[in-house]
């Protein structure tokens, strides 16, 4: 049933969980105090998201294979890097089904998402254009005309504004169908008129290399390895991995590995099941042999000691019991 709403977040783990409900798996690492706001609008065949984030961060996203995902900047400024390519003001990405990709932002940023059932998009494409247009297989970045890009941003913003201020209006069939039809018309126009932008990467097959990096990293987060050991497991040179991480993540592989491990520590602290768990045990589980080292780096990222996070979690559990 059509509807919508909005939520604010001060913890990346809770923000990731909200994105997961929208069928976007996200691993987020960041620098500085995390803050985000998520607005969603559910229509008949479309799901809309407006993701407002107030911190520089990198993310590894996995999009559900059952939907077609379209992403684009909400404003033609403060542009992100997606799949190693810096987006231009009027770019839009039609993602591959089930795509995994890296996205990084250097500062606060607002990005928009449209998720649509593939059959409905193809049906509308036939009706509106008079021809059958198969969805792009390669997940291209499309360059829209300024007028078409502005129209897409305006329609998306209007729907999200209703979700924030008058969510009940979206439950009215006439309202939701009118918004949906206009948005699908624009998406079809994007598919049929926009130019595909060539993506230039620093290393051939860089996206594949980064996927392998994530796979190996996920298996060895509790076993800290140096860059050369990781490169041997991935099957790539250290120079190539550094170049790809700089392009895709805006940081070195070593820095990203540290932030990934800190993320897992924080998630473990936030979901501690009982007072039996302690910081030392959790630190060791994710490859921190010295608790003092964890405390220094954890405090620098999250603004508090690991013990404070754990105690807050335990206090909330006991208060709710």
Q: Where would I find the beta strands (DSSP E) of 76-213?
A: 81-82, 85-86, 91-94, 100-105, 109-116, 141-143, 195-197
**Residue 132 pLDDT:** 63
**Residue 201 pLDDT:** 59
144 DSSP 8-state letter = -
Decide if pLDDT at 84 tops 80.
yes
Half-sphere exposure at residue 35, Cβ-oriented, CA atoms within 13 angstroms: 7
- What is the share, in percent, of the chain residues with pLDDT greater than 90? 56
**Residue 170 pLDDT:** 84
Shortest CA distance to 184 belongs to which of 23, 6, 47? Answer: 47
**Residue 312 pLDDT:** 80
134 DSSP 8-state letter = P
Decide if pLDDT at 319 tops 60.
no
CB atoms inside a 10 Å sphere around CB 110: 18
CATH number of 3-197: 2.60.120.10
Instruction: Check if the beta carbon of residue 22 is closer than 8 Å to that of residue 63.
Output: no
The more confidently predicted of residues 171 and 99 is 99
Decide if pLDDT at 79 tops 60.
yes
Give residue limits of the domains in the chain. Answer: 3-197, 206-320
99 DSSP 8-state letter = -
**Residue 134 pLDDT:** 64
The helix or strand, by DSSP H or E, that contains position 70, with its residue range, turns out to be strand 68-73
Decide if pLDDT at 321 tops 60.
no
Give the architecture-level CATH label for domain 206-320. Orthogonal Bundle (1.10)
**Residue 212 pLDDT:** 95
- The mean pLDDT of 192-202, rounded to a whole number, is 76
Mean pLDDT of the chain: 88
Decide if pLDDT at 320 tops 60.
no
Instruction: Check if the beta carbon of residue 104 is closer than 8 Å to that of residue 249.
Output: yes
- CA 46/CA 165 separation, integer angstroms: 19
| pLDDT band for position 235 (cuts 50, 70, 90) | very high
Structure token digits, residue 246: 């700089």
Instruction: Check if the beta carbon of residue 186 is closer than 8 Å to that of residue 155.
Output: yes
The more confidently predicted of residues 64 and 33 is 64
């Amino acid at each position: 049933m059509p509807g919508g709403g909005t939520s604010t977040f001060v913890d990346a783990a809770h923000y990731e969980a909200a994105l997961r409900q929208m069928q976007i798996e996200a691993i987020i690492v960041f620098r500085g105090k995390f803050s985000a706001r998520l607005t969603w609008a559910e229509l008949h065949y479309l799901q809309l998201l407006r993701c407002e984030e107030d911190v520089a961060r990198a993310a590894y996203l996995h999009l559900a294979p059952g939907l077609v995902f379209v992403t684009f900047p909400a404003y033609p400024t403060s542009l992100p890097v997606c799949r190693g390519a810096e987006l231009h003001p009027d770019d839009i990405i039609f993602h591959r089904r089930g795509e995994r990709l890296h996205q990084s932002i250097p500062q606060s940023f607002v990005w928009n998402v449209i998720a649509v059932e593939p059959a409905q998009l193809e049906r509308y494409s036939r009706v509106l254009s008079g021809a059958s247009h198969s969805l792009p297989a390669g997940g291209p970045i499309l360059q829209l005309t300024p007028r078409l890009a502005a129209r897409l941003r305006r329609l998306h913003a209007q729907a999200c504004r209703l979700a924030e201020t008058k969510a009940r209006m979206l439950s009215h069939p006439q309202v939701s169908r009118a918004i949906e039809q206009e948005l699908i018309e624009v998406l079809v126009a994007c598919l049929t008129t926009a130019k595909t932008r060539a993506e230039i990467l620093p290393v051939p097959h860089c996206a594949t290399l980064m996927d392998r990096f994530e796979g190996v990293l996920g298996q060895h987060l509790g076993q800290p390895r140096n860059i050369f050991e990781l490169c041997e497991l991935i099957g790539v040179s250290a120079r190539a991995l550094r170049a790809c991480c700089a392009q895709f993540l805006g940081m070195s592989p070593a820095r990203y590995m540290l932030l990934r491990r800190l993320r897992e520590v924080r998630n473990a602290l936030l979901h501690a099941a009982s007072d039996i768990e302690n910081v030392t045990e959790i630190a060791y589980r994710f490859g921190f042999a010295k608790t003092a080292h964890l405390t220094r780096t954890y405090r620098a990222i999250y603004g508090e000691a690991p013990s404070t996070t754990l105690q807050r979690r335990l206090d909330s559990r006991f208060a709710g019991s």
